[in-house]
Amino acid sequence: MKNISIDEKWTFRNGFVDSLGALEEDPGTEVNLPHDGMIGTQVKPDAPAKSDSGYFVGGLTNYTKYVMIPKEWEKECVGLKFDGIMMNATIDVNGCKVGSQHYGYAPFYVDLTNYVTFGVENRITINCNTSMHVNSRWYTGSGLYRGAMLCHGPKVHVVNDGIFVRTKEVAGGYAFLETEVEVENSTLENRLAEIELAIFKDGEEKPDSVTKKKIYIGSGKSEVARIAMNVKEPLLWDAENPNLYKVKATVKNLGVYRTHFIAEENADIDEAETLFGIRTITADVVRGLRINTKTVKLKGGCLHHDNGLLGAVSLYEAEKRKVRKLKEEGFNAIRTAHNPPSSALIEACDRLGMYVFDEAFDAWGIAKRSGDYSQFFESDWEKDLTSFIKRDRNHPCVVIWSTGNEIPERGGLDNGYRLATQLAEKIRELDGTRPVSNGICSLWAGLDDDLMKNHSQNQNTSEGLIDTTWEKATEPFTNGLDVVGYNYMEEIYERDHEMFPERVILGSENFPKEIGFRWPMVERLPYVIGDFTWTAWDYLGEAGIGKAVYVDADDDVVKTNGWALMPPSGSPYPWRCANDADFDITGNMMPQGAYRSVVWGSKKTHIFSMHPETFGKTEVMTMWGFPALFESWNYSGWEDKNIRLVVFSNAEEVELFVNGESAGRKPVSKERPMPNSVFFDTVYKSGKVEAVSYSEGKEISRAVLLTTGEPANIRLVPEKKEMASSGHDLIYVGIKITDKDGNVVPDAEIELNAEVTGSAVLAGFGSANPITEDNYTDCETISFKGRAMAILRSGYEKGTVSIKVTAKEIGSAEESFEVI
């Protein structure tokens, strides 16, 4: 079927639409999809979800668009295709309910054939409901945040996501493929159809392979055509070589079959195509995870679905930027925590080369929050899991499926053991080419009251792992898994290998500050296939799970080992971001990202300071925290006071220079808690501090911190100079507050105003400050650590767009771009 984007010019309203009168009462606001109906709302101290949602509040919203359904489609099938709607959505056409969808992350299709009127405009209204508090453990956004497609095609057609290409073997200069094409016959007669398959290298017009097959399809039924194909001298896909192919299926309705075949003239033809990659996957305890027979360790990061200043809006340009930056740091894998991602993210991973641990659910039948998906799991899981797997199974970036995260049923409650196997088997029924996993955590929950009485209930600590209770309770839960995901349980990898010598282990979620001493173990143990940090990219909600504070040794907070800092009580309004990631929400690398890159082999030197006020204090940190380090040497008023500097380096030694004088030369630590680091204590003197790394006596690299002047200028740093008039393209414009010499002033907090004119809109404007009341959809913000970000989004008209950013104290800066 043909897919037509209908993202342009919807009318957005708050509230629930149940009649034409409701539409007439409120003119609404014109928006282009994808659109997040929550990100532009005011955060509130009394938000029901508190820090879970970053103090955003859900509600009722709706979208309406009048769509012309051409008269010439009258003998065709018509439908709507969504990549996800947040959440509890109902779809109405001309006042009639035609479909609904609870799970906000699952793709789905709604058949409109029997409801639309051909030759006229039809009203499509979609109501969304995020008011069932509390519906998530993080910020969800709201509405049509992944866009909408109008689909049409002949009565005999390829079903939505109905093509599946799998690599059976690569040998002797050939890739041997098996292709399935699911064809639906919506006529009242039995039919014969011819399916032609053509395989192309992505971007090329000449096919590498073509074949045909005829099949029978009963009236009102669907049938799967199974077609073997081969590709000579195939270009294999992996993260270093993301070679893609396109398969195009052409379905020709040949005619009717009664007691014999009756051919028809001018038979209808349907076409469908999809990207895929040729590659093989295996996993075992001896050779680990192998992609195309090559062992790969997953250098992974968990990702929530939001895009920072854009809210939940998913656009290819935003997802591509995120994947590109993660690859530059050293990541080769992401985990889609804890839900089906957008198709835009998956395509970006395909094209740029990023392995994906593709996850289905955060909750099954036992709730984690009162309004979450558990209410609908029993009735909806199979439908939602099926649509998710069918959408993503052609994508070579997906290397592992996950049935869930920290599922309360892991100890067997609520039929958990049976469900775990049932979900895994359903995935294998749809795709048997990839291993199935689940991110399992310790038993801080998940047991009945009798067993929990004497068990640690501190979330994701090692306290409950001193004996083998966890192994015994969860072993039946792992029955259907090819790879067992361990959340925060690195300490028992080797013990569990002795208990389960054929178990393949994946560090599916781990603390960010521990990568330095954990990663060598991952590399050493063949049955451990990788590690995923929580998290790779900062996100909205779960506000403040990453914190470090510095107090006197006798302060009561020290005794809590960081638990007093945890949300919700430790993250009062207006905490917004998790603050636990390698990149902040604007895409700037954080100190923990610099540290991870060094652990993974980067030869760069990174130097950071700790505020002099923390010197000699006791560090108290949440488990998801990282030391409070700053890329700054601006500490006016603290001259000649003690200060600590921290250097991350992969070299043997580091020498520190303060204003050209050596402050010492030290070996780089190789021991826990922080291998690949050096700590220097000195006294603060404004000017220049420099760290130089050496191996075998030779300089490897160096890094510098400077004392800057006062804020004097605004510098705009656009990441590109033009964008497409597709309504979906973006330009990220970095905003830096600089001194008169052009140095970023790292402690500058300046009020900024943005003005955008021309053929684009200001889609997001703000900073990475994790504690803020900013509305990212307006034109005002305050710089954070000397930086802010503006995101421009194209419309559907060509032209130019200009952005002007102004600060009363230091003037303005302006840039213009082409929209082509």
Predicted confidence (pLDDT) per residue in 724-744, tens digit: 999 999 999 999 999 999 999
Contact 101/85 with Cβ under 8 angstroms? yes
Long-range CB contacts (within 8 A, 24+) of 5-9:
5/147, 5/148, 5/149, 5/150, 6/33, 6/65, 6/67, 6/148, 6/149, 6/150, 7/32, 7/33, 7/34, 7/147, 7/148, 7/727, 7/728, 8/32, 8/33, 8/727, 8/796, 9/65
Tally Cβ neighbours within 10 Å of residue 648: 30
Strands 760-766 and 811-819: unpaired
What's the chain's average pLDDT? 97
Give mean pLDDT, residues 500-518: 97
Tally Cβ neighbours within 10 Å of residue 762: 21
pLDDT band at 490 (very low <50, low <70, confident <90, very high): very high
C-alpha to C-alpha distances, 407 to 52, 212, 489, nearest whole angstrom: 18, 45, 15
Rounded CA separation 733/716 (Å): 6
Rounded CA separation 291/529 (Å): 12
pLDDT at position 374 is 97
- Candidates 723, 530, 586; CA nearest to 308 is 586
pLDDT at position 415 is 97
Rounded CA separation 113/106 (Å): 22
Q: Which helix (H) or strand (E) holds 390?
A: helix 374-392
The CA angle 743-745-751, to the nearest 5 degrees, is 130
Whether the per-residue pLDDT at 799 is higher than 90: the answer is: yes
Number of H-type helices and E-type strands within the chain = 10, 47
Query: Is the torsion defined by CA of 675, 681, 682, 684 positive or negative?
Result: positive
Contact 115/83 with Cβ under 8 angstroms? no
- Candidates 458, 369, 356, 309; CA nearest to 138 is 369
Give mean pLDDT, residues 11-24: 92
pLDDT at position 622 is 97
Name the token pair of 21: 């009168």
Give mean pLDDT, residues 61-89: 98
Contact 461/444 with Cβ under 8 angstroms? yes
pLDDT band at 465 (very low <50, low <70, confident <90, very high): confident
| Paired strand residues for 692 | 655, 702
pLDDT at position 457 is 77
3-state secondary structure of 314: coil
The pLDDT tens digits of the residues spanning 304-313 come to: 999 999 999 9
Give mean pLDDT, residues 379-395: 98
pLDDT band at 583 (very low <50, low <70, confident <90, very high): very high
User: Which value, in Å, is the radius of gyration of the alpha carbons in the chain?
Assistant: 28
The sheet carrying 722-723 orders its strands as 722-723, 811-819, 799-807, 751-758, 780-782
pLDDT at position 486 is 98
Exposed, middle or buried by CB within 10 Å (0-12, 13-18, 19+), for 782? middle
Rounded CA separation 413/583 (Å): 37
277 phi, psi to nearest 5 deg: -135, 155
Listed in sequence order, the residues at least 6 apart from 103 whose beta carbon sits closer than 8 Å to its beta carbon are 87, 373, 376, 380, 384
pLDDT at position 19 is 87
pLDDT band at 456 (very low <50, low <70, confident <90, very high): confident
Percentage of the chain modeled with pLDDT above 90: 96
Give mean pLDDT, residues 122-134: 96
Amino acid at 167: T
